[in-house]
Structure 1
Amino acid sequence: MPENNLILNRFFTQNVFLDMLRSSSSNNVTYGAVIKRFINDPENLENGTLISEIYHFMSKSYRNEYFYQNTLLNKLLLGRHSINTTTALTQIPISKSKADFILINGKAVVYEIKTELDTFDRLETQLRDYYKGFNHVCVVTSEGQYERARTILDDTPVGIYVLTSKNTISAKLRKEPVENNSSLDHTTIFKILHKQEFERILLEYYGKLPETSQAFYYGECLNQFSNIPILDAYAMSLKQLKCRNRIETSTLAQIPYELKSLFYFANPSKSEMEKLREFLKQKYGG
């Protein structure tokens, strides 16, 4: 039953994996529970092999949000684009929602994941929020949910991508997102940016930063940002967001397919990468 698989949601997180790298993996409660639940006779098997087996189970029986996100990163960022020219973001607050996955190259696309385990109950609110911050939005769902998604989104600019039963992105069951600038909102975009990002925009546009007390500085920066024409402010913001999550191609190439999304967003240090390599080769319980 799916409820017995919920531990997989916790397992494929940065907190669990970075904890395993920093300490003994055999002492990690979540890892031990996952191995006990999904693997028969794990002894003498390398951790990399065990993780691959767990992920294979997910591909057949429990395609959760991490599985979808990891597939998007592998198929779109690495398969269609390049990490040298494209940036992926995740869990970005946009108004009152959080974007599951965003790809930024020449344009930015927000991908809202609706797995076969999800409902569409909050979709209308989420889409409304996303269009305040970005002008391309796409729902990613399963083959079984495609007709429902198409019924809801047919006459909208929202795109639809489908993750097939073979874990590829369907070329047939597809609706490409259409640019929609009508809801872009200065305040929403500004709140997505980090301090150094909106400061760089203001310096580029005005040639200087606001001169005011610290208490009023943020509000004055927002005020100046709001006076930039919205499409210019949006384009300049994408330029800044694209500079986030820089990871070397050589580093990402060393990460197994199953963990690429997790470690892409973790942006591991050299020492963490070395520990990951050691962990994957280490035999379970060793």
Structure 2
Amino acid sequence: MTENNLILNRLFTQNVFFNMVNTNSNTTYGTVIQRFVNDPEDKDNSTLISEVYKFMSKSYRNEYFYQNTLLNKLLLGKHSINTTTALTQIPISKSKADFILINGKAVVYEIKTELDTFERLDSQLRDYFKAFNHVCVVTSESHYDRAISILKDTPVGIYVLTSQNTISKKLRKEPTEDNSHLDYTAIFKVLHKREYENILLQYFNELPITSQAFYYGECLKQFTQIPKLKAYEMALKQLKRRNRIAISEFDKIPYALKSLVYFSSPSKSDWQAIDVFLNQRYGG
């Protein structure tokens, strides 16, 4: 069973997916199809991947499954890719944020699947609050009581992925705003160079004049002179500009692959190759 789990984890990664798309011959994909799908020969790749995902929905809800559900239910179901941006695997201090949603505000979602423990949760939450003021744990029904006992008197929210693969309206604690731990350095480190330069130019109308060796440090120093909540608000506006995606092409992507494709920022030629691959018969 562990071997099955590992190969399913590998399948829903950008490296394997784009290898499949570009070569139509990937050993991980071939192994997964033979192992988890009956009579694959007459089906196109889009159908096959959806069937594998359906198996996962019942037997192996890994981190990708949770992340993909969040993207489908929150970004696409509740908000819109025109007005909201999702980010993933963003380093914050010593942790990495699984999923961040930015519209008027930003919420960090820390995923704890039924396969995970809560061992590192405390340090992860502390890190996230240094760079963002809303944080939520997304977990399974089986972990809900444990999550509530740990987080009941905190600003951290709790969302539950039900056995029907919906986000529970009943088993829920909404995150509340907490600005008390926001840290200039942590916020600054989330930004790309172009983004923090945009902020400094907007606020000060100039960038530091210094040698390349000291430039980053001087930009950070200048950033810390902006009132903290203003700096945070400006940072969110920059982050919200990331992950712009071709909506007409994205609409064609099957549910199972929405998250993987969204976070891969496909080029025009990628979109064409993905479309060909998904509509191609298996092994064709």
- Aligned AA (2:13): T
- TM-aligned CA deviation for residue 2 of structure 1: 4.6
Distance 1:272 1:245 in 2: 15
- TM-aligned CA deviation for residue 36 of structure 1: 2.1
Q: Find out whether 1:276 has 2:274 as its counterpart.
A: yes
Aligned pair count? 284
TM-score when normalising by structure 2: 0.98
SS at match of 2:107: strand
Tell me whether 49-58 or 14-23 shows the greater mean CA deviation.
14-23
Distance 1:188 1:258 in 2: 33
CA contact (8 A) 1:2 1:62 kept: no
SS at match of 1:37: helix
Q: Deviations over 1:65-117 (max 9, x none)?
A: 11000000000001000111100000000111000000000000000000001
Distance 2:234 2:277 in 1: 41
CA contact (8 A) 1:89 1:102 kept: yes
Alignment of 1:22-37 (within 5 A): 22-23=22-23, 25=24, 27-37=25-35
Tell me whether 176-185 or 31-40 shows the greater mean CA deviation.
31-40
Match of 1:64 in 2: 62
* Among 77, 80, 86, the residue aligned to 1:79: 77
TM-score when normalising by structure 1: 0.97
Distance 2:172 2:198 in 1: 38
- For structure 2, the residue ranges without an aligned partner over 5 or more in a row are none
- Aligned AA (2:41): E
Distance 1:10 1:3 in 2: 11
RMSD: 0.9
Q: Find out whether 1:204 has 2:192 as its counterpart.
A: no
Q: Deviations over 1:222-258 (max 9, x none)?
A: 1111111110110000000000000122121111111
* Among 146, 153, 156, the residue aligned to 1:155: 153
Match of 1:6 in 2: 6
Match of 2:21 in 1: 21
- Aligned AA (1:59): S
SS at match of 2:160: strand
Match of 2:36 in 1: 38
Match of 1:119 in 2: 117
- Aligned AA (1:86): T
Match of 1:249 in 2: 247
Match of 2:256 in 1: 258
CA contact (8 A) 1:16 1:30 kept: yes
SS at match of 1:173: strand
Hey, which bits of structure 1, 4+ residues long, moved more than 6 A? none
Tell me whether 98-107 or 225-234 shows the greater mean CA deviation.
225-234
Distance 2:4 2:241 in 1: 39
- Aligned AA (1:176): E
Tell me whether 88-97 or 224-233 shows the greater mean CA deviation.
224-233
- TM-aligned CA deviation for residue 33 of structure 1: 1.5
Alignment of 1:143-182 (within 5 A): 143-182=141-180
Q: Deviations over 1:207-230 (max 9, x none)?
A: 100011111111100111111111
